[in-house]
Amino acid sequence: MKKCIFFIILILHSFLFSQIFYNFSQTETPIYSFQMNGTGSLAYPGIQEENFKISVNGNFKIEYIDFKDDIYTIKLIPFKTVVKIGEGIIENLSNSDNESSVISTQLIKMKKNGEIIETEELKKGLISLSQLLSLLPAFPNDLKEGKKWKQKIPAIEFPGIPMCELEFEYIYEKKDLFSNIKIMANQNINETRKQENMKIIFSGKNTSKGFFKFNEKEGKIENFNGEFFLNLGIKYDIPSQPEKRTETFGMKILLNLKVALILLNSQKQ
């Protein structure tokens, strides 16, 4: 009788809940196109606000390196990249298959459910795609229709400027062999961080939304579209010597970005 109850519980659990995994293999190399386009601004006290356009587009491929202890090691290689900040073209490799020198090539360790546990820059650049990767859904074990969960990611970085964490809510919906995962944020930012003898205070608002389409059979993201708006104030409290007083320096960052990711194909090995 106890065995029957146990098997009934197992059957009900498998019917009501599911587990979704990413799938990478040494027999194929997925290739994605990505786009990050929008506007930004930086403002400092006593200095006129600087407004600029942002355009970061191109492709990247994901090379399988290893799978051990339920953890994938993969390499993300950006190529055919076009990077524009303001009116200046930082890089244009649209007619070349060479690796980007502006966007980092990265080694990534990822659990099967999509949780990224480690990233390493193999070829450093001014821009990292680690924030985009951190947005990937890390599927919980007890996945069912309407399941909600939260993930935190680092904010999009400016060179030399520390950034706070951003929090997003994910909602799972099942559509045949595909998952539709909505993400949204309506986050009030209030974070204080200590860095050596300096205190950094973040305040502002993260208002964002997006949509992933995930192929459950293939274990791959098919596409993503999102809109991100970040209004962030950063204040630095710095001890001044020998006066032994605290000096305050602040800045304000505005970001309004549209982000898209599309699976183009998978190269067979």
* Residue 183 is assigned to a structural domain of this protein: yes
DSSP string for 194-217 = EETTEEEEEEEEEEEEEEEEEETT
Note the pLDDT tens digit of each residue in 134-174. Answer: 899 999 988 899 999 999 987 666 666 677 889 999 999 98
13 — pLDDT class (breaks 50, 70, 90): very low
Beta bridge partners of 77: 61
Exposed e or buried b for every residue in 167-188, given b needs 16+ CB within 10 A?
Answer: ebebebebeeebbebebebebe
- Return the residue matching tokens 């900040």: 85
- pLDDT at residue 75, rounded to an integer: 96
CATH number where 175 lies: 2.30.230
* Residue 62 is assigned to a structural domain of this protein: yes
* Residue 103 is assigned to a structural domain of this protein: yes
What ranges make up the beta strands (E) of 86-197? 88-92, 105-111, 116-123, 148-154, 165-175, 178-195
- How many domains would you assign to the chain? 1
* Residue 26 is assigned to a structural domain of this protein: yes
* Residue 16 is assigned to a structural domain of this protein: no
* Residue 127 is assigned to a structural domain of this protein: yes
In order of 9, 144, 169, 216, the CA distances from 147 in angstroms are 20, 5, 10, 16
- pLDDT at residue 244, rounded to an integer: 61
Beta bridge partners of 61: 31, 77
Can you give the pTM of this predicted structure? 0.85
* Residue 101 is assigned to a structural domain of this protein: yes
CA atoms within 13 A on the CB side of 173: 9
Q: Which two tokens stand for residue 58?
A: 């191109």
Beta bridge partners of 141: none
- What residues make up the domain containing 33? 21-268
Note the pLDDT tens digit of each residue in 183-227. Answer: 999 999 998 888 777 788 899 999 999 999 999 999 999 999 999
Helix (H) or strand (E) holding 7: helix 2-16
